[in-house]
């Protein structure tokens, strides 16, 4: 497994991380035993970064990770936890709370569910508009001093927020959507991260399956996050699947799959970027791991760019109400 560092102050981690959310939430039913087998396969293959959130499945995901880590050395793995999203008993999203008291309470519950004595990277899932980022980061810094957290990360924030946060405490990484069809971070956020020595953990690399090469127009996303995603709707979907077919031509020429091209492209954007793959099944994990040995030449990168140019996707990456809450979209 190739190793990359999360920023200039963060830990070394595998070049791919495992995003565990889909094993518990938002992407329809999942199989518990297959999820655990996939997690085990990832760790056996050398993946050391496990990403979760205290609100994924209202704690289910953290407990699943705790089960998956049984019998393994804690020091061999980096657990990244997001906090802040508030949910009701029915799973409804109620808003965000990244206040000092709330985040410290959330950390206590996460530590208990994970069965660990520390969280490696702790981050607010979004910027809380009611709480200055300095207060949020300062409170996490208290947890660092107390030994409950090792490093501080952020998620979906803009360049100004990054700078304000980094002035309070070193930030090791920004978790943000980055893929061939979601390249907004190239317009200032990525350069700000590099100026500040902050790494990127990229989620949505296959665009929630849209550019995995496996999604078809006939598939239903009812009861799934994708059922609300503008990019999976009507004419937007038709257009976006034409991009996938163009990428398929590039992939076939390389003896690869579309998903592998999508992951390899993000890997090629810099050694300070670690893609998170949300595999829920062992076959999807095996496919994702194949991207690590896929070397993209300058000609390959040009062909990929021609097939899916920046800004070519139809539809926003979230519904309008959610886009309005993203600090990363205000930069």
> CA-to-CA distance for 209 and 276, rounded, in angstroms?
13
Residue positions counted in the chain: 331
Instruction: Give the other-Cβ count within 10 Å of 282's Cβ.
Output: 16
Options 27, 56, 122, 178, the catalytic residue: 56
What is the secondary structure of 48-96 as a DSSP string? -EEEEETTGGGGHHHHHHHHHHTTS-GGG-EEEEEE-EEE-TT--EEEE
Do residues 82 and 53 lie in contact, with contact meaning Cβ atoms separated by under 8 Å?
yes
Do residues 152 and 167 lie in contact, with contact meaning Cβ atoms separated by under 8 Å?
no
Active site residue 318: no
Burial tier of 166 (Cβ tally within 10 Å: 0-12, 13-18, 19+): buried
Three-state secondary-structure class, residue 100: helix
Q: Which residues contact 241 (CB under 8 A, 6 or more apart)?
A: 215, 216, 217
> CA-to-CA distance for 206 and 113, rounded, in angstroms?
29
Report which DSSP code applies to 212: S
Alpha-carbon distances, residue 93 vs 28, 84, 231 (angstroms): 17, 11, 21
**What amino acid positions are annotated as catalytic residues?**
56
């Amino acid at each position: 497994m190739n190793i990359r560092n999360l920023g200039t102050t963060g830990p070394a981690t595998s070049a791919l991380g495992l995003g565990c959310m889909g094993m518990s939430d938002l992407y329809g039913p999942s199989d518990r035993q297959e999820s655990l087998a996939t997690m085990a396969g990832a760790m056996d293959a050398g993946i050391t970064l496990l990403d979760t959130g205290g609100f994924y499945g209202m704690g289910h995901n953290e407990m699943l990770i705790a089960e998956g880590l049984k019998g393994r050395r804690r020091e061999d793995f980096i657990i990244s936890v997001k906090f802040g999203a508030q949910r009701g008993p029915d799973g409804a999203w109620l808003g965000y709370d990244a206040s000092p008291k709330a985040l410290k309470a959330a950390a206590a519950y996460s530590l208990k569910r994970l069965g660990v004595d520390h969280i490696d990277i702790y981050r607010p899932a979004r910027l809380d508009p009611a709480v200055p980022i300095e207060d949020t980061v300062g409170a996490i810094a208290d947890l660092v001093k107390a030994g409950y957290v090792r490093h501080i990360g952020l998620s979906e924030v803009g360049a100004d927020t990054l700078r304000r946060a980094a002035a309070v405490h070193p930030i090791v990484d920004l978790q943000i959507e980055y893929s061939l069809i979601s390249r907004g971070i190239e317009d200032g956020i990525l350069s700000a991260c590099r100026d500040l020595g902050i790494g990127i953990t990229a989620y949505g690399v296959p665009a929630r399956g849209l550019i995995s090469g496996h999604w078809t127009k006939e598939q239903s996303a009812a009861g799934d996050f994708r059922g609300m995603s503008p990019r999976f709707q009507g004419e937007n979907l038709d257009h976006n699947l034409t991009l996938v077919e163009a990428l398929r031509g590039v992939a076939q020429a390389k003896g690869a799959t579309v998903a592998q091209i999508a992951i390899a492209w993000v890997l090629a954007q810099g050694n300070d970027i670690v893609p998170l793959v949300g595999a829920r099944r062992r076959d999807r994990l095996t496919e994702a791991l194949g991207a690590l040995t896929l070397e993209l030449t300058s000609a390959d990168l040009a062909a990929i760019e021609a097939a899916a140019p920046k800004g070519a996707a139809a539809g926003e990456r979230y519904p309008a109400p959610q886009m309005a809450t993203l600090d990363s979209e205000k930069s």
